[in-house]
Structure 1
Amino acid sequence: MNSEQLNLMHSGKGFIAALDQSGGSTPKALLQYGIQENQYSNDEEMYTLVHEMRTRIIKSPAFDRQYILGAILFENTMDRKIDGQWTADFLWEKKHIIPFLKVDKGLAELADGVQLMKPISGLDELLDRAVERSIFGTKMRSVIKEANPKGIVEVVKQQFEIGKQIFNKGLIPIIEPEVDIYSADKEKSEQILKEEIQKQLHLLDKDVKVMLKLSIPTVSNFYQDLISDPHVVRVVALSGGYSREEANLKLSQNHGLIASFSRALSEGLSADQSDEDFNNELQETIKGIYQASIT
């Protein structure tokens, strides 16, 4: 584990850029970027186009360590290069931005008000490759739709079990039990979720470190005790379907919580923009998310 990256992630100013759209969400990401589905005919062409989009974002002068602490990559992106370097190496060596990797394989069907992660086949091999590719940490997502204690217990248990496996490989796991922002009982779900996370944190060995990626809470500063927990490197927030403006506003009301936005980060960017317009748009977006993250 890179101690410089660990210290930077724990105490540095900035936010995490989520560039980890996978097979299911890549067409939506490309469509938002202005690339229609009829512009590619297979997965390889699709992934090449999305890598070009991500490369354009990463190489932009706006994508700068002054504002951005880390970036979450999709496996296909980790295994591709930017200017002859593996993407993670380019991020750290050229930009001093910490690379993460999405490792989950998507969501299982809804049961007990939640969607657990599907089994992650080949996880050990993927983690070994991540270490070889200079990845610092990982990210994996579950979803909570209802304030069902049984389901939420299972979500948190699954996340921490896999998280410990990841930590034992020398990587920092981002544990992401997302609460659906449209849930009718979102606040109650958050209360149950925090209690279960605290139980699991209490059970960790003294040296184990994790990160948490959570929906912006209904009650401002609700996750302060998680932010200060000695096991927790950082607590980051997903935009969860909020517009960028709304997500920034809600985030700014939560001291110590920083952004890890995906769709809200790339909102307003398009393939047909000139480099000047693209960079200016991205700069304004990044500055806004940064300001919300340091409030």
Structure 2
Amino acid sequence: MTQEQFDKVKNGKGFIAALDQSGGSTPKALNDYGINEDQYNSEEEMFTLVHEMRTRIITSPSFNADKILGAILFEQTMDRKVEGKYTSDYLNDKGVVPFLKVDKGLAEEENGVQLMKVIPGLDELLQRAKERNVFGTKMRSNILEANKEAIAKVVEQQFEIGKQIISAGLVPIIEPEVNINANDKAEIEDILKEEITKALDKLNDDQLVMLKLTIPTNANLYKSLIEHPNVVRVVALSGGYSRDKANELLKENDGLIASFSRALVTDLYADQSQEEFDKGLADAVDSIYDASVNKK
């Protein structure tokens, strides 16, 4: 982590692109891009195709530091190269700060939440990320019901691993996603805010985190989290909303910026000409940037 990276993430105008679909979600990401499962014969071929898709995005002139602060990468993307450079170094040279997804997926649902699976070899992965000049990490949990004890366990797990990441010299993105279709979404978010606030208040002054949260039902609910001294930035996931809907909701929340995945790449397809692809990406980038910096 460099001071230049920190200043950009903390104070820059723009959003963070999420390009971190992993093993379980890669087939769907490729299918949405126009590449069906019968077009590859192995996991290696699948990951090569998704890296080619990400390379096309990252190298596009529409993907630039004027509007994109950072990009979240899957481990294999970090370890592969773009135009002869490791992906994270290519992004740094472009002025886009690299992050790394470190979780290994979700455990089975229990008491209305999904904790993260155990993350084996995390210390080694964090060391490799530092060598690749990565700034921070991301890890996702999932909350589906307003169960206070279970939500507290989600936050506890996130911050416990977050402290391990901080000790390695990186900034963790804590991501306890609230399912957008939860019947009691607003109640879940009130509980989650309370639990995150408790966890933040226990951190030392030099223990800094980022938060990645579902856009709240009640606008500006997370204002106090955005302003918390231990929080570098709060970003929002699109969570299955369409890009237009996610942008509309994001605009209602002061200080909250996007970290969209599906909503970023919705209109990108493998069979597009380079001109069509760049235009589709530019339109997405422009609209998400506008929603991140121009509020109602």
Q: Fold conserved (TM > 0.5)?
A: yes
State the shift of 1:69 in Å. Answer: 0.1
Q: Deviations over 1:188-220 (max 9, x none)?
A: 000000000000001001111000000000001
C-alpha separation in 1, matches of 2:83 and 2:205: 41
C-alpha separation in 2, matches of 1:91 and 1:118: 29
C-alpha separation in 1, matches of 2:17 and 2:225: 21
C-alpha separation in 1, matches of 2:149 and 2:111: 7
- 2:260 aligns to what? 261
Equivalent positions of 1:149-160 (< 5 A) are: 149-160=148-159
- Letter of the aligned partner of 1:291 in structure 2? D
Equivalent positions of 1:88-237 (< 5 A) are: 88-93=88-93, 95-237=94-236
- Letter of the aligned partner of 2:35 in structure 1? I
- 1:85 aligns to what? 85
C-alpha separation in 1, matches of 2:129 and 2:8: 20
C-alpha separation in 2, matches of 1:121 and 1:193: 27
Equivalent pairs counted in the alignment come to 294
State the shift of 1:148 in Å. Answer: 0.2
- 2:243 aligns to what? 244
3-state SS of the aligned residue for 1:261? coil
C-alpha separation in 2, matches of 1:22 and 1:241: 17
3-state SS of the aligned residue for 2:259? strand
Equivalent positions of 1:3-18 (< 5 A) are: 3-18=3-18
- Letter of the aligned partner of 2:40 in structure 1? Y
State the shift of 1:112 in Å. Answer: 1.3
TM-score, length-scaled by structure 1: 0.99
C-alpha separation in 2, matches of 1:33 and 1:109: 28
TM-score, length-scaled by structure 2: 0.99
Q: Deviations over 1:258-293 (max 9, x none)?
A: 000000100010000000000001000100000000
3-state SS of the aligned residue for 1:154? helix
Q: Flag structure 2 segments of 5+ consecutive residues without an equivalent.
A: none
C-alpha separation in 2, matches of 1:7 and 1:141: 24
3-state SS of the aligned residue for 2:187? helix
3-state SS of the aligned residue for 1:17? strand
1:68 aligns with 2:63: no
Identical pairs, percent: 64
State the shift of 1:127 in Å. Answer: 0.5
- Letter of the aligned partner of 2:276 in structure 1? D
